[in-house]
Amino acid sequence: MVEARSIRGRAMRSRENAGRLYVCPTPIGNLEDITIRVLRMLREVDLVAAEDTRVTGKLLTHFDISKPLVSYREYGEERRIEGILSELASGRSIALVSDAGTPGLSDPGHKLIKAAIENGFEIEVLPGPSAVITALVASGLPTDSFVYQGFLPRKSGERRRLLTELLESGRTVVLYEAPHRILALLKELSDIGGERRVVVARELTKRFEEVIRGSAQEIIERLGERPRGEMVVVIDRGKPRRKEVTPDELATEVERFIRAGVSKKDAISRVSKNLNQPKRAVYEAAKGIKAKL
Ligand code: SAM
């Protein structure tokens, strides 16, 4: 954590005079995706804090914005963050921008956001582009419940353990991966997840945008030997695991439905569906049960 007690003291004492940190998402490819509000904010703030001043400099030039830029990343990160907090304390408003997408999501913007909050500064997050949501929606896989993991750890043991855990989560999984490691990830996925549906969303919003769907093995074949571009991997939640249910429990459930007036055939179907058990097993368990009870 950036320890900046005197900065924090000043921010607390004169909060109304302290500047705000505006978290400003930028396009993940297509420059038309910048929002009107982000453009206004970039024009209005006193200073822009960037992950890489060259990348953000180009973006600002494209939109004809001229603003002092400071990096929160390059050499001596902690001191740079402290410097930015001092600017906030002295009443200057700052836009936080990363190289692409929403700052703070799998990029170093998170450290500055955390430090600003811990030191009592107000932050305001502007909504905007992010690869995770764009890929998730493009995947067509269930969106009601998903796990965003960002980049997996590099160490193979840790990586495999986490991947196995994610595949058992019962949720759609969203991962970021670099192009030179994508084939290894898909191979691991094929070993652990087998035929599970996978979607690789490549170069989103860019000219060569591509959404590839299939099993991990099928996608490996589609990508070829040297895949290029930025990629997000979205993995289907898979079928929920079948819980162990005894024949007696199945029979009791079927009986319950029959007593409630449901036909034996429908009762078997409902139990099979509700308990995620093969119809055949429920049928066998219910053999001795009368059609009317
Ligand atoms: N903060 C960013 C966001 O909101 O999406 C993510 C930053 S992270 C350092 C960069 C990763 O995001 C890339 O390795 C890739 O996995 C993903 N990514 C960024 N832009 C992308 C794009 N246009 N298409 C596919 N993936 C992209």
Q: What would the pLDDT profile of 243-264 be if each residue is shown by its tens digit?
A: 778 999 999 999 999 998 999 9
For residue 286, give the nearest of 46, 274, 269 by alpha carbon.
Answer: 269
- Collapsing DSSP to helix, strand or coil, 189 comes out as helix
The confidence score (pLDDT) of residue 44 equals 97
Distance 195 CA to ligand 1 centre (A): 26
Domains annotated on the chain, with CATH: 5-128 (3.40.1010.10), 132-235 (3.30.950.10), 247-285 (no CATH)
Given a contact cutoff of 8 angstroms between Cβ atoms, the answer to whether 229 and 53 are in contact is no
Mean pLDDT of 116-140: 97
Would the pLDDT of 1 be above 90? no
The confidence score (pLDDT) of residue 292 equals 82
Q: What would the pLDDT profile of 264-284 be if each residue is shown by its tens digit?
A: 999 999 988 888 788 899 999
The confidence score (pLDDT) of residue 242 equals 64
The confidence score (pLDDT) of residue 82 equals 94
Q: What is the mean pLDDT of the chain?
A: 91
The confidence score (pLDDT) of residue 272 equals 87
Does residue 217 have its Cβ closer than 6 Å to ligand 1?
Answer: no
Mutate to test the pocket of ligand 1, among 107, 202, 203 (most ligand atoms within 8 A of CB): 107
Kindly give the number of the ligand 1 atom that is closest to the alpha carbon of 203: 24
Q: What would the pLDDT profile of 17-32 be if each residue is shown by its tens digit?
A: 889 999 999 999 999 9
Mutate to test the pocket of ligand 1, among 31, 33, 204 (most ligand atoms within 8 A of CB): 204
Q: How far apart are CA 177 and CA 174, in angstroms?
A: 10
Does residue 100 have its Cβ closer than 6 Å to ligand 1?
Answer: yes
Longest dimension (CA), the chain: 82
Check residues 17 and 84 and name the one with the higher pLDDT: 84
Given a contact cutoff of 8 angstroms between Cβ atoms, the answer to whether 78 and 115 are in contact is no
Question: Cα 292 from chain centroid?
Answer: 52
Helix intervals (H) in the chain = 5-13, 36-44, 53-62, 77-89, 109-118, 131-139, 156-167, 182-193, 216-223, 247-259, 264-274, 279-285
Q: What would the pLDDT profile of 182-212 be if each residue is shown by its tens digit?
A: 999 999 999 888 789 999 999 999 999 999 9
The confidence score (pLDDT) of residue 277 equals 83
pTM recorded for the entire structure: 0.81
The confidence score (pLDDT) of residue 215 equals 94
Given a contact cutoff of 8 angstroms between Cβ atoms, the answer to whether 31 and 61 are in contact is no
Q: How far is CA 28 from CA 139, 235, 243, in A?
A: 17, 21, 42
Distance 206 CA to ligand 1 centre (A): 12
Kindly give the number of the ligand 1 atom that is closest to the alpha carbon of 178: 14
